[in-house]
Structure 1
């Protein structure tokens, strides 16, 4: 393998796909993009509880949109074409990766975290929706920019192949992606993309078409279910379910609370492009929601670690989610009711 090192600046971020999106777009000439703007334009805020599907012996609980959607939606909203490929063959996947690097394209890759050699052991478990960037190769090794890490890392071809073809739920199948072209984006394009992202996130969180297990309804549904877990599942299994919720909330990217803080920051940054003061007021609601998600995580940790565990403790945990659901319902309803056409013209 010949050496290929691209001009690339590592950017640390709170969440992997946000960070990959920002880094790849900045590398493609989109200097205005930030992590909150990418997350908001990509309508990344979400919630879903799927009790019939299991990951690590717990129900599927997600606090963000499906992997890949933040990048795809952000690029589409800004008019940037995207290349995205999956592979059946490991050899074909490696060959295409090398072609991309030789053509000057750093690429985003979806990977599993269990075998990432630079991850601390306590963060390695079977989760296949992590994202990183490969930006160079040298003597059989690859240069990797993982946005959740402070600096860059080097992986062997085998190590990279192993995480690109991790098995299990959300198996990445060697998936890689990158912006197809270098472009500039105008202030007006940013404004339209921001409004489009807000409208999409409003729909995803409060539309009745999302069903009872997704969006704000999903948060409320989960809160009510938590109150039943102790009697229905027994204290041990109920505790493991709460451990799953906290794992997905606090250890996968930024989880529940962190995503709410990022969305609040998005609304604040959006104000520079869409100067409506309601955005600043509504951003405070997402900060409050983030605080409550963090408080709920502490309550859940107390239960699954055995410090508390009465039915009243489960009721308190469920009530936290019911309160969160109401805060987010009001916040997204307020966003839905903004008269965008009456917003001051872009500056």
Structure 2
């Protein structure tokens, strides 16, 4: 049984799943930048006490699942979301959804995805894909970061749906509860609410020193201390973690900033305020600096660089990025919405 579903390739998995599921549900205006912006997806947090792959957690986007949840809520679309203790119950519910005509989003672990190149497989459990059919005990999968669709056996799908470790998915699946089109006015209001939420998440002092633009600044200052405090080897592994979280998991630091800039450009079609276009260029500049910082970090952890000055330069990149993003979000906060 294969549902009528169009595969959509995207830069980031949850954005792509959100677009795929919503287009399938009748929301034809949705694009990856709109989903990311309406879902207030841009973020930063540095959590040194929580480790993934022996490095601190560094995230460049909001928590997994929130982009889909926020986008649907802003557009007035109810959502079904379930986790499971039993693998049998998870498979049974998935099959029921497909029988009822619902393609479903699934949170999965990356490490055992059979169609991923080996060099991209590591223990990260917040990847997202869509299951849109089943045949002869196998499942048809639309993974937005892949060019085309794939087929997984029941065992392969179960294995990634119940991957162990941090952010364990526990068989989680989700989908829009009903299919309905939305109006341009709904999109317009959703854009406004998404921007306001992202402004709060990035510049509110309530988010604390490790999150938002304060978190970028905090991390930049810490990087300057890593060489002397941790030693070159561990400091290099921490920077490798930063680059992995930035460039390999999802779209990462630079890519997300480019997507947010594209969101503001697309928002201009619904809210013709030229300030949105001007501010979008600041996020492009931030994205460029994130990419430059990744090159600097790679030089350090690969051993080409390693002096205290090299670490200071790396930290300065983040301090500059923090200031650019702070100014951009302050400018967004000051926009007068009509």
Under TM normalisation by the shorter chain, which class is it? over 0.9
Work out the CA distance in 1 between the residues paired with 2:98 and 2:307. Answer: 56
Shift of 1:28: 0.2
The answer to whether structure 1 residue 71 and structure 2 residue 71 are counterparts is no
Matches within 5 A, 1:8-87: 8-87=5-84
Question: Residue 253 of structure 1 is aligned with which of 238, 250, 262?
Answer: 250
Question: Residue 147 of structure 1 is aligned with which of 144, 149, 171?
Answer: 144
Q: CA RMSD in A?
A: 0.3
Deviations 1:161-180 (A, max 9, x none): 00000000000000000000
Q: TM-score, normalised by structure 2?
A: 1.00
Question: Residue 231 of structure 2 is aligned with which of 231, 234, 238?
Answer: 234
Count of residues in correspondence between the two structures: 338
Aligned to 2:264: 267
Work out the CA distance in 2 between the residues paired with 1:47 and 1:55. Answer: 16
Query: 3-state SS of the aligned residue for 2:179?
Result: coil
Aligned to 2:95: 98
Q: Flag structure 2 segments of 5+ consecutive residues without an equivalent.
A: none
Query: 3-state SS of the aligned residue for 2:269?
Result: coil
Aligned to 2:276: 279
The answer to whether structure 1 residue 317 and structure 2 residue 314 are counterparts is yes
The answer to whether structure 1 residue 119 and structure 2 residue 113 are counterparts is no
Work out the CA distance in 2 between the residues paired with 1:318 and 1:21. Answer: 34
Work out the CA distance in 1 between the residues paired with 2:47 and 2:249. Answer: 17
Q: Flag structure 1 segments of 5+ consecutive residues without an equivalent.
A: 342-347
Q: TM-score, normalised by structure 1?
A: 0.97
The answer to whether structure 1 residue 156 and structure 2 residue 153 are counterparts is yes
Shift of 1:116: 0.2
Query: 3-state SS of the aligned residue for 1:272?
Result: helix
Shift of 1:184: 1.1
Work out the CA distance in 1 between the residues paired with 2:186 and 2:131. Answer: 29
Aligned to 1:344: none
